[in-house]
């Protein structure tokens, strides 16, 4: 007998913490978005267009499209209320993944890993396979999940030990960015501390037997160090006293420790930035440094805005200290635009939308990432530099002009050697 196709709300009950348990689709059950219906049709097209005639770039776009639909459906609040549409989408998505030849499936999972959504993707696939009665796919997902979760739990244990060692020696720390992706984990483990660099290095070398990695020009400007810690695959990146690509932020950076909160992850308690500083830190990384988003950024902060009580006046206060309120507003508006394009819902105050510099311009998938418009990025950099001048922020005024030549040097180095690590 064929297994009954239950609604997402029924089969999602077995998913781990973080999945939307009010039904994979979220709490507000309002009128279904017409865009979701077209999404199912688009996914069918992607499934049928698989084959040798599909070039690698188009295949990557298809992979990203499926991953985005999975993540928004599973973790974000949406306005979709028709269970038949949910099942229709899940069947099409599962068929898409099941039809991939081994090398293309590896590409799909590599893309999920690069975007820090591998565990979440495998979790949804496993649940969807259970609904469809695809035991082979379900077992394969379960095996991969067991491996990934074991690795992540080990890394969390080592990270916790590092934090405790630093705290015990007078180095107050916040774990920044890395734990935002839970149940996934970032590619390196980021910390911020207000302690002096000498004390941090002493603890890392003497107590944790860690080895510092050679610093790039950008690392030196940003006042950050990377350490290789025995027994840990990921590098530990420690930002010391300042934040920003050129280490231009001091007052805002101190808030990362002054306003930190406790968060339990994997049975361990970590100190992390308050929600407002989490948003500011990621905005700095995405629209002022890398100029691209990962899919995890879209999902992590859509969920944060939905489930945590973000104090927008406090958020603006933190962003204004850094002179980047327009960038923070743009960061949030880009997330809203992307999530809503896949049927999700992200509610933002009018003040945020009015301050954003990306109205009508979303991110574009290119080179494996969700790219921010260069014009938008340049405009935000100019506003930041002007604000530093108006407010007499000498540190920012001295350091921000170094960013363009640093970026140009990185581009040139990448073009010649294929690697910009020594610079950027």
What's the pTM? Answer: 0.85
> Helix and strand tally (H, E) in the chain?
18, 10
Same domain flag for 76 and 158: no
Distance CA 374, CA 379 (A): 8
pLDDT level of residue 219 (50, 70, 90 thresholds): very high
Distance CA 241, CA 196 (A): 7
- Residue 168: its pLDDT value, please? 98
Please enumerate in sequence order all residues whose Cβ is within 8 A of that of 307, keeping only pairs 6 or more positions apart, or say none.
Answer: none
Counted residue by residue, the chain has a size of 424
Distance CA 150, CA 170 (A): 31
Q: What is the pLDDT of residues 26-45, one digit of tens each?
A: 333 333 333 443 344 344 33
- Is 409 part of a structural domain of the chain? no
Same domain flag for 300 and 188: no
Q: What is the pLDDT of residues 139-169, one digit of tens each?
A: 999 999 999 999 999 999 999 999 999 999 9
Please enumerate in sequence order all residues whose Cβ is within 8 A of that of 137, keeping only pairs 6 or more positions apart, or say none.
Answer: 94, 97, 98, 125, 126, 129
Same domain flag for 225 and 335: no
Q: What is the pLDDT of residues 165-203, one digit of tens each?
A: 999 999 999 999 999 999 999 999 999 999 999 999 999
Q: What is the mean pLDDT of the chain?
A: 84
Beta strands in 287-387 (DSSP E): 292-293, 364-366, 369-371
- Is 160 part of a structural domain of the chain? yes
Same domain flag for 318 and 245: no
Distance CA 278, CA 260 (A): 10
Distance CA 235, CA 229 (A): 7
Inter-helix orientation angle 118-132/102-114, to 10°? 130
Same domain flag for 267 and 176: yes
User: What is the pLDDT averaged over residues 262-285?
Assistant: 97
What's the structural domain count of the chain? 3
- Residue 1: its pLDDT value, please? 34
Q: Is 312 helix (H, G, I), strand (E, B) or coil?
A: helix
Specify whether the CB–CB gap between 395 and 243 falls below 8 A.
no
User: What is the pLDDT averaged over residues 244-249?
Assistant: 92
- Residue 9: its pLDDT value, please? 32
- Residue 62: its pLDDT value, please? 93
Same domain flag for 216 and 235: yes
Distance CA 396, CA 385 (A): 8
- Residue 12: its pLDDT value, please? 35
- Is 16 part of a structural domain of the chain? yes
Q: What is the pLDDT of residues 193-215, one digit of tens each?
A: 999 999 999 999 999 999 999 99
Q: What percent of the chain has pLDDT over 70?
A: 79
User: What is the pLDDT averaged over residues 338-346?
Assistant: 93
Least confident of 47-56, 154-163, 241-250: 47-56
- Residue 73: its pLDDT value, please? 85
- Residue 360: its pLDDT value, please? 72
DSSP letter string, 103-121: HHHHHHHHHHHHTT-HHHH
User: What is the pLDDT averaged over residues 104-110?
Assistant: 94
- Is 416 part of a structural domain of the chain? no
Same domain flag for 166 and 87: no
250: containing domain: 152-273
- Residue 43: its pLDDT value, please? 47
Q: What is the CATH number of the domain that holds 170?
A: 3.30.460.10
User: Which one, of 137, 181, 127, lies nearest residue 156 by Cα?
Assistant: 181
Same domain flag for 126 and 56: yes
- Residue 31: its pLDDT value, please? 31
Same domain flag for 293 and 257: no
Q: What is the pLDDT of residues 112-126, one digit of tens each?
A: 999 999 999 999 889
DSSP letter string, 142-167: HHHHHHHHHHHHHHHHHHHHHHHHHH
Distance CA 377, CA 270 (A): 33
Same domain flag for 334 and 315: yes
Same domain flag for 91 and 21: yes
- Is 423 part of a structural domain of the chain? no
Going by the DSSP 8-state scheme, the letter that residue 181 receives in this structure is G
pLDDT level of residue 415 (50, 70, 90 thresholds): low
Same domain flag for 160 and 234: yes
Specify whether the CB–CB gap between 316 and 325 falls below 8 A.
yes
- Is 339 part of a structural domain of the chain? yes
- Residue 32: its pLDDT value, please? 33
Distance CA 183, CA 265 (A): 8
Q: What is the pLDDT of residues 291-337, one digit of tens each?
A: 999 999 999 999 999 999 999 999 999 999 999 999 999 999 999 99
- Is 260 part of a structural domain of the chain? yes
- Is 43 part of a structural domain of the chain? yes
Distance CA 71, CA 37 (A): 17
Distance CA 413, CA 217 (A): 12
- Residue 419: its pLDDT value, please? 54
Distance CA 259, CA 317 (A): 13
405-408's contacts with Cβ under 8 Å and 24+ in sequence apart are 406/217, 406/218, 406/221, 406/245, 406/246
């Amino acid at each position: 007998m064929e297994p009954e196709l239950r609604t997402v709300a029924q089969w999602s009950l077995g998913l781990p913490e973080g999945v939307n348990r009010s039904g994979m689709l979220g709490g507000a059950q309002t009128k279904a978005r017409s865009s979701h219906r077209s999404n199912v049709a688009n996914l069918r097209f992607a499934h049928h267009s698989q084959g040798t005639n599909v070039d690698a770039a188009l295949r990557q776009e298809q992979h990203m499209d499926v991953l985005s639909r999975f993540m928004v459906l599973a973790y974000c609040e949406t306005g979709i209320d028709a269970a038949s549409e949910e099942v229709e989408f899940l069947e099409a998505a599962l068929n898409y993944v099941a039809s991939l030849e081994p090398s293309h499936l590896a590409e799909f999972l590599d893309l999920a890993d690069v975007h820090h959504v591998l565990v979440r993707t495998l979790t949804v696939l496993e649940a969807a396979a259970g609904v469809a009665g695809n035991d082979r796919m379900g077992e394969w997902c379960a095996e991969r999940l067991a491996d990934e979760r074991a690795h992540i739990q080990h890394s969390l244990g080592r990270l916790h030990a590092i934090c405790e060692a630093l705290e015990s020696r007078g180095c107050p720390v916040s774990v920044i960015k890395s734990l935002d992706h839970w149940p996934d984990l970032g590619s390196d483990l980021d910390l911020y501390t207000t302690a002096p660099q000498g004390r941090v290095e002493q603890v890392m070398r003497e107590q944790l037997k860690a080895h510092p990695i050679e610093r790039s020009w950008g690392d030196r400007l940003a006042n950050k160090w990377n350490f290789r810690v025995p027994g840990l695959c990921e590098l530990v990146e420690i930002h010391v006293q300042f934040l920003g690509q050129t280490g231009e932020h001091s007052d805002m950076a101190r808030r990362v420790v002054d306003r930190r909160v406790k968060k339990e992850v994997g049975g361990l308690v970590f100190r992390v930035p308050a929600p407002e500083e989490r948003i500011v830190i990621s905005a700095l990384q995405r629209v002022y440094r890398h100029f691209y988003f990962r899919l995890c950024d879209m999902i992590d902060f859509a969920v944060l805005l939905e489930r945590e009580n973000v104090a927008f006046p406090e958020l603006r206060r933190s962003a204004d200290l850094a002179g980047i309120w327009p960038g923070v507003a743009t960061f949030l508006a880009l997330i809203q635009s992307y999530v809503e394009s896949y049927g999700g819902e992200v509610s933002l105050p009018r003040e945020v939308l009015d301050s954003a510099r990306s109205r009508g311009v979303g991110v574009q998938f290119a080179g494996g990432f969700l790219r921010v418009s260069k014009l938008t990025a340049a405009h935000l950099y100019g506003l930041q530099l002007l604000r530093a001048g108006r407010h007499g922020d000498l540190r920012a005024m001295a350091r921000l002009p170094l960013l363009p030549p640093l970026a140009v040097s990185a581009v040139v180095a990448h073009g010649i050697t294929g690697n910009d690590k020594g610079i950027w």
